[in-house]
């Protein structure tokens, strides 16, 4: 009832979309998780009954203590799997996200612990996102979206967030991943694409995608 794959995905989605204090709109959850708003609403109702989330009508949802703890755990499992898949099994950087999404719901606590130890207690996933300590909420790094840089500014890519396979594939093809240095060369008007330089390469990237690439100046 409380640890089905569905409920876990909802909790994780709410955690990932929640930037800070403000609640997350149900429509956003529905869209990201690919269900209709009605379905999301029903599920949100159930999760609220279970005490995992708080629902302020017409505002959105936020996680309770319990919900936050569980969502954080799922995120932890997800990111640990990604590390194993990429670093040890040689699974593709972009593909690892989907694979971990499946595994995260099928992971016993003992496996999570063993995985963490085997990996040497890593602090970030291959896409740069922090791996929370067990029980602790994630503390986000000090970053800003690539889309907020100005022309000529240089920055280091910290993480891709929220992750999504199509996005990761696109970024991988263009050499955009954590640790690399980028410089914005041009910003098209009307929410148009950014032209950025990554190493020797020059790449054009849409505004929406750029807002998911977080950098430190």
Partner DNA sequence: CATGATTTTTAGCCATGCCTATAATTTTGT
Partner DNA sequence: ACAAAATTATAGGCATGGCTAAAAATCATG
89 alpha-carbon distance from chain centroid: 22
Report the C-alpha dihedral over residues 102, 106, 112, 115, rounded to 10 degrees. Answer: -60
Q: Does 6 bind DNA (CB under 7 A)?
A: yes
66-125: contacts with DNA (CB under 7 A): none
CB burial readout 108-127, b (16+ within 10 A) else e = eeeebeebbeeeeebebbbb
* Contact by Cβ (8 Å): 99, 89: no
Per CB under 8 A, the list member of 3, 59, 88, 121 interacting with a copy of itself is 88
Per CB under 8 A, the list member of 44, 115, 157, 184 interacting with a copy of itself is 115
174-193: contacts with a copy of itself (CB under 8 A): none
Percentages helix, strand, coil for the chain, rounded to the nearest 5?
A: 45, 20, 35
Question: Which among 53-61, 99-107, 146-154, 162-170 is the span making contact with DNA, rule CB under 7 A?
Answer: 53-61
Question: What is the nearest approach in angstroms of DNA to the Cβ of residue 15?
Answer: 17
Per CB under 7 A, the list member of 12, 22, 42, 96 interacting with DNA is 42
Q: Taking CB within 5 to 8 Å according to partner kind, which of a copy of itself, DNA, none is near residue 42?
A: DNA
If you search the block for the tokens 């936020």, which residue do you land on?
A: 62
Q: Does 48 bind a copy of itself (CB under 8 A)?
A: no
User: For the residues of 5-47, what is the DSSP string, one character each?
Assistant: HHHHHHHHHHHHH--SSSPBPHHHHHHHHTS-HHHHHHHHHHH
Question: Which among 20-28, 29-37, 93-101, 191-199 is the span making contact with a copy of itself, rule CB under 8 A?
Answer: 93-101
Coil, strand or helix at 170: helix
Closest CA to 139 of 126, 149, 150, 129: 129
Q: Does 91 bind a copy of itself (CB under 8 A)?
A: yes
Closer residue to DNA, CB minimum distance, 2 or 216? 2
Question: What is the nearest approach in angstroms of a copy of itself to the Cβ of residue 113?
Answer: 9
Q: Which residues bind DNA (CB under 7 A)?
A: 1, 4-7, 9, 25-27, 34-39, 41-43, 45-46, 55, 57-60
């Amino acid at each position: 009832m409380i640890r089905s794959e569905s409920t876990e995905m909802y909790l994780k989605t709410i955690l990932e979309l929640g930037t800070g204090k403000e609640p997350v709109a149900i429509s956003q959850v529905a869209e990201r998780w690919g269900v209709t708003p009605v379905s999301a609403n029903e599920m949100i109702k159930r999760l609220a009954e279970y005490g995992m989330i708080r629902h302020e009508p017409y505002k959105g949802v936020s996680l309770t203590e319990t919900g936050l703890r569980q969502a954080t755990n799922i995120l932890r499992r997800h990111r640990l799997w990604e590390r194993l898949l990429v670093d040890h099994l040689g699974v593709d950087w972009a593909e690892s996200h989907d694979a971990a999404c499946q595994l995260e719901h099928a992971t016993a606590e003992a496996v999570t612990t063993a995985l963490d130890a085997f990996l040497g207690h890593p602090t970030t996933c291959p896409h740069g996102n922090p791996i929370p300590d067990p029980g602790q909420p994630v503390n986000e790094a000090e970053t800003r979206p690539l889309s907020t840089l100005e022309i000529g500014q240089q920055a280091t890519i910290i993480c891709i967030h929220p992750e999504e396979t199509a996005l990761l594939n696109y970024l991988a093809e263009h050499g955009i991943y954590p640790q690399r240095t980028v410089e914005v060369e041009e910003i098209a008007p009307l929410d148009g694409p950014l032209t950025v330089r990554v190493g020797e390469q020059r790449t054009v990237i849409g505004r929406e995608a750029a807002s998911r690439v977080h950098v430190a100046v």
